[in-house]
Structure 1
């Protein structure tokens, strides 16, 4: 085994130990981690469990209280609330994760190219990035979904390709920090191509930033998706999502407030969970924080 591999594995193990130690010390992050594990497990095993159909309407069983048949009762159309929460969680989490990953990938690509090549390319890309940063993201999203609709694919593309600017600037900063170091100079002297240097040598240095950006970005994307769905521009019925469940419940908030409480709490807990985990990951990857562990 090479010396590089021998030094990398202990470092990775050390990072994971620091992460778990920080996680156990942070009650909010620990709660978020447990919540995400629980909701992800429910979403994954839901097809294997005999839950009622989330779209099955039973007008003779509207606003039913919690029971063995309907764990959280039924909504205004007699649909099982628990089944709809799980199905809506699958959609909301899938949109949030996919859009956050797309944001990081596109932002990392722009940041790598801009920081590595510099000069005119850097100036053009950064001015373009600054121009997009000056546009309020939510209004840009409203325009996109109003034109192309609010299906899951459109939402993922819209949310992913309108929020990459901050990630691009972060990755550009990391590339500028490392591109003049000895290991990059050595790779260039050995004839490595620009693409190989960016992907094999510079991008791994930015992985901690990408991980933190993704974890925090998921919560932000879920808020945007919920807001768009609440306005009727996100996931369209009958497909459930936590956002459109809130939309449907606003007309019954006085005689059935629990219909708004359940999806609202799921959104709240999910956003808090991703943000708190992002804070722990940031601290775990920060050498100044690790030095005190």
Structure 2
């Protein structure tokens, strides 16, 4: 009798593995991004890290970026609200120090020497100190802008792709309007209106720079939200916010990471371009593009008939080195995450 009752109570029950409550609720945010490989479950993030650490060019680029960043941080002591938080000074002079007022034997446009490895500029300032210090502007603006734009674009694109319908239509028409104008022109207009400065440059590249990430994430979300675990989460009554940011967004992240790593270099070039046009940081600052602007009149004909090549080669070389290193890192991340399969290769071209 017992066996019969047990059997009868199980009749008519349908078990759907994709909607197993225990399986969905215990899933760690799906950010593990796991794949079944035989009897072992291998985290794709760990596999991506392993592949990245085996990429020599990517590691070289990472080393260059770390070195340049550390040189910028430790170029001169950093004081916040009267408190010295970084006491070291690798640069021998402050970036605005006029050397011939300290040492009369030094003149303007002195070529590289043992005491001044990168020479002296037209205002009598040590270029080596200025290049090290200038990394604080160029590098930090690149990372801050990408952090802000990627974060906002992630949220914007996730909402657009998840809800779809008229919400998606309106949000994507806004993105299309932004894409109708060149990004550098928009940044130039903003800086021309607000004036040059650190936060003005950050705003200029952030105000519309999120559109690329928004469209990229929106496309990824449209694909991810059709997976069975997303449908399972909805069936179990999960809130939209939880479904988007716990179940969908982690699986849409890889192409965004690739594009973000490449866009850091793009922002640095954009900041340097505005600086070269005289619309970036104040003319006395040590930002790399602004340093090039202060010496562009000497590119064809220098003082005394000689061209002070060192005044442009070293700031320009710093820009080239950093951007090239970031591109190498981006390529390494792309290979490690196999982002071509997720669509990053198709949409990652936009700066």
TM-score by length of 1: 0.90
Unaligned runs of 5+ in 2: 1-25, 35-40, 78-87, 342-351
C-alpha separation between the residues in 1 aligned to 2:208 and 2:188?
Answer: 11
Question: In the alignment, what sits opposite 2:38?
Answer: none
Q: How does 1:75-114 map to 2 (within 5 A)?
A: 75-114=121-160
Q: Are 2:238 and 1:192 equivalent residues in the alignment? A: yes
Q: How does 1:158-197 map to 2 (within 5 A)?
A: 158-197=204-243
Q: How does 1:84-233 map to 2 (within 5 A)?
A: 84-233=130-279
Question: In the alignment, what sits opposite 2:52?
Answer: 19
C-alpha separation between the residues in 2 aligned to 1:174 and 1:242?
Answer: 36
The Cα RMSD (Å) is 2.2
Q: What are the Cα deviations for residues 165-222 of structure 1, in whole angstroms up to 9, with x where unaligned? A: 2211110011001112121122222222111211111111122122111111101101
User: Which has the greater radius of gyration?
Assistant: 2
Q: What are the Cα deviations for residues 55-93 of structure 1, in whole angstroms up to 9, with x where unaligned? A: 111344222333443232221111111110011111100
C-alpha separation between the residues in 1 aligned to 2:282 and 2:110?
Answer: 25
Q: Is the 8 A contact 2:119 2:310 kept in 1?
A: no
Match of 1:258 among 305, 310, 313: 310
**Structure-2 change in CA distance of 1:81 and 1:280 (3 Å):** same
C-alpha separation between the residues in 2 aligned to 1:58 and 1:37?
Answer: 30
What is the Cα deviation at residue 287 of structure 1?
7.1
Q: Is the 8 A contact 1:32 1:269 kept in 2?
A: no
Q: How does 1:43-54 map to 2 (within 5 A)?
A: 43-46=72-75, 47=77, 48-49=88-89, 51-54=92-95
Instruction: Return the structure number with greater strand share.
Output: 2
Question: In the alignment, what sits opposite 2:327?
Answer: 275
Q: Is the 8 A contact 2:72 2:134 kept in 1?
A: no
**Structure-2 change in CA distance of 1:288 and 1:97 (3 Å):** closer
Q: Is the 8 A contact 2:153 2:217 kept in 1?
A: yes
Instruction: Return the structure number with greater helix share.
Output: 1
Matched pairs, number: 284
